Amino acid sequence: MDRRTFLKSAGVGAAATALAAPNVWAKPKTHRWRMVTTWPPGLPFYQVGSGSAEWMAKRIGEMSGGRLKIRVYAAKELIPAFGGFDAVSKGTVEMNHGVAYYWAGKTFAAQYFGTIPFGMNPAGANGWYYEGGGIPLWEETYKDFGLVPMPCGNSGIQMTGWFNKEINSVNDLKGLKMRIPGLAGKVLAAQGVNVILLPGGEIFPALERGVIDAAEWVGPYQDRRLGLYQAAKYYYHSGWHEPSTTSELIINKKAWDSLEKDLQAIVRAAATEANLRSTSWAEANNAGALDDMIRNKGVKLRLLPKDVIEKLRVTTAEVLAEANKDPQSRKVYASYQRFQDNWREWAGISEGTYHEYIRGKK
C-alpha cells in the first residue's frame, strides 16, 4: 500500500470510529414534572417541611442534579383535593401525594396501604411494605390504573379526634356527624355515626359552624395549627383508627417508564427518606404541641373508655370480614394479617414492655 492510499484509509476509519463513539459531552435529558397533593397550602408535614411533598420534590431535584425537576401544587391550585388519583392515572399530571384510603372508591384494597384500624404501628407497617411483600402488592393493586405507588411518609399513631361532648359509652356515638376517612369511618358508621369526608382545609369551619360534631385530622401539631381546639375542647386518643397512616406517592406509569433507571432509583430513595424524615418530624413536634394545648388552650385530653374501644375492635373485625369481597382485597388483607400476626407478639415483648417500664407502669 502506498503512502497516499494508507492515509486515505486511515482517515475513513477514524471518521467511522468518531461517529460510532458516544458523545460524552451531550447534555443529559431534563424531565419536568408536576406533583399535585390532597393537602392545603403550607400544611406542615404533608405539604411543607421535613419529609413533605415539597421537601421530597426538592430532594429529587438535588439528587438528580436537576435532571428531574418537580413543581408541587397544593389542593385546589391545579385540581381538586381528591382529584389526584384520576389526574395521574390519565396522565394529566405525573405525580400525586396523598393517602391511599382516599381512593377506596376506585379499588377497595387501596385503603389497606394507608392504615387499618387496630393494625400495625409505623415500625410494623414499614416492615410489611419493605420486607413483607406490601409494596409489590400495592403495585399489583394499582397496575390496571396505570400507576406506580410507593410509601413516602408516616404520621405515626394518630389521635382519635375532637368532640364537642364527652364520649362515655357507645351510645354517645350515635347520631354524631364526624369527619373521618377510611375503614375507621365504616366502623363508626356501624355505631350510628354519620360519617363525612372532608379535605383538611374544610375541617375547622365545618366544626366551628356545627356542620359536624366531631373531627379526626392528624396529630397535636397539625391539629393545633388548624385551630381545632377553638371549635371543640374534648380531644380523644387511643390510636385505634389510624395506628400508622402512610403517605402515598403515585406516579403515572408511562411517565415512570420514561425515566432513566438511575432517576427511578433516586425517586424511590427520596420517597424512602421522606418516609423516615416525616415520622421523625412527627415524633419531634407532637409532644410539645399537645402539652401547649392542654396547659394553655383549655383542651381536655380524654382516653376512649375501654368498653368503647372493645366494641370498635369487634366491629372492625366484622367490617373487614364483610368488606373483603373482591379477590384483590382479600389477597392484600391476608398478606397484611399474616405479617401482623407474626409481628404482634414480638412488638408486645419489645416495644410494649419497654413503654410500660419507661412510663413507670411496671
From first to last of its 362 residues, the chain has per-residue pLDDT tens of: 565 554 455 555 554 444 555 555 667 899 999 999 999 999 999 999 999 999 999 999 999 999 999 999 999 999 999 999 999 999 999 999 999 999 999 999 999 999 999 999 999 999 999 999 999 999 999 999 999 999 999 999 999 999 999 999 999 999 999 999 889 999 999 999 999 989 888 999 999 999 999 999 999 999 999 999 999 999 999 989 999 999 999 999 999 999 999 999 999 999 999 999 999 999 999 999 999 999 999 999 999 999 999 999 999 999 988 878 899 999 999 999 999 999 998 888 888 777 777 777 55
Name which of 332, 322, 337, 319 is nearest 149 in CA terms: 332
C-alpha grid cell, residue 100: 391511599
For residue 298, the SS3 value is coil
Q: At what angle do helices 122-131 and 327-347 cross, to 10 degrees?
A: 120
What is the predicted pLDDT for the residue at 22? 55
d(CA 100, CA 331): 17
pLDDT at site 348:
85
Contact predicate 323/108, CB 8 Å? yes
Query: What is this structure's pTM?
Result: 0.87
Kindly list the structural domains of the chain, giving each domain's residue range(s) and its CATH number in brackets, ordered by start. 31-156+244-283 (3.40.190.170), 161-242+287-341 (3.40.190.10)
> What torsion, rounded to 10 degrees, do the Cα atoms 129, 130, 134, 136 define?
140
The amino acid occupying position 307 is: D
Sheet holding 234-237, edge to edge: 194-196, 177-179, 214-215, 161-163, 234-237, 300-303
pLDDT given at position 341: 94
Environment class of residue 212 by beta-carbon count within 10 Å: exposed (0-12), middle (13-18) or buried (19+)? Answer: buried
pLDDT at site 322: 83
Under DSSP, the state recorded for 304 is P
